[in-house]
Amino acid sequence: MILAVTGNDLDRAKETLVKGELVAIPTETVYGLAGNALDEKAVLSIFEVKNRPAFDPLIIHTDSVEKVMQYVSDFPEKARRLAENFWPGPLTLLLPKKTVIPDLVTSGLDSVAVRIPNHPILLDLLGRLDFPLAAPSANPFGYISPTNAMHVNAQLGDKIPYILDGGESSVGIESTIVGFENNETIIYRLGGLAVDDIEQVIGKVTLMPNSSSDPKAPGMLKSHYAPRKAFFLRNKVISENGNEQTGYLLFDKYLEGVNIENQRVLSFNANMQEAAHNLFAYLRELDTLPVEKIIAERVPAYSLGLAINDRLQRAAAH
Ligand code: TXA
Ligand code: MG
């Protein structure tokens, strides 16, 4: 397999995007597979490279609220307060779209998902572009999201010309998606910005991370983020007697009596940020071990633990 060129050449990244080709980009959440959001052909190739169904809409990325205003027709007060507090950062807002955003980007929906990511190299690139970047996570549809350039190269390297390397994604889990309907604030996807932090700024929100496989509920597909190995989620993990064929994903300590090479511990300090940061990389590692199945344990359900459990749940729904 021929791998993509990987580097930190912003001129090259820009030229490639201006030509309508795709570039994998670093963000603080996960790596994205980016193309010019205003160029339908570029957007179409994102769906092709990812093997993503057309009913699953894309997030657009830009570097300032002024630019966001060119793409959305309304920016409600609560959305503004969230943007002021959490952009750049792991927050995606669903806002009514202007017609410059192709229907292909939003899968025909009237709203567009927008985010200002918090990554210095990417912000520099976005500042040089006069179009926003449509970018889903840079993994084949349904698989684990990539949190470094090697993850991207391993899976999509033969399909894209350039990977902009910005090191490891610090947050490690996708953005929290927030929408606004009839005065209600709705969380459509749990993610790297904790619900508590959002509620401190705008008060109570409604959780609606849809667990449907219904195309009318795009993006919140029940089965997602899945390793290739058989994957099981448990409230509490106990070792399966002398079984060398099982890999374990644990919250804060090793299981006794099991080869530690087959175990990954998300955070020995029970730190949720660290656990989120390690989640996808450890899932990938377990997926490449010579084990037949992976057993994960649910993490405590607070702060980013809610988003971690959401991803584990979807991985287990395969
Ligand atoms: O952190 C992130 O959000 C990463 C980085 C690259 O920014 N991106 C990401 O994109 O996770 P993706 O495509 O893997 O997930 C985007 C989600 C999908 O579940 C999609 O259905 C939802 O956003 N989405 C996009 N536009 C939407 C819309 N107009 N209404 C409802 N959901 C939408
Ligand atoms: Mg994704």
Nearest C-alpha neighbor of 199 from the set 71, 85, 42: 85
Task: Measure 31 CA to ligand 1 centroid, in angstroms.
Answer: 13
Rounded to an integer, the average pLDDT of 161-187 is 96
- Ligand 1 atom having least distance to the Cα of 221: 19
Distance (Å, rounded) from C-alpha 279 to C-alpha 277?
6
Instruction: For residue range 87-101, list pLDDT tens digits in order.
Output: 999 999 999 999 999
pLDDT above 50 for 21: yes
- Ligand 1 atom having least distance to the Cα of 52: 13
Which ligand minimizes its atom distance to the CA of 54? 1
Tokens of 252: 């804060």
From 23, 25, 52, 59, the mutation candidate for ligand 1 (largest count of ligand atoms within 8 A of CB) is 59
Give the per-residue pLDDT at 217.
Answer: 46
Instruction: For residue range 125-161, list pLDDT tens digits in order.
Output: 999 999 999 999 999 999 999 999 999 999 999 999 9
Burial 197-215 (b: 16+ CB within 10 A, else e): bbeeebeeeeebbeeeeee
pLDDT above 90 for 112: yes
For ligand 1, atom 31, which residue shows the shortest CA distance? 218
Which ligand minimizes its atom distance to the CA of 210? 1
Domains and CATH numbers, the chain: 5-207 (3.90.870.10), 230-316 (3.40.50.11030)
Does residue 110 contact residue 180 with C-beta atoms inside 8 Å? no
Task: Measure 192 CA to ligand 2 centroid, in angstroms.
Answer: 13
Averaged pLDDT score across all residues of the chain:
94
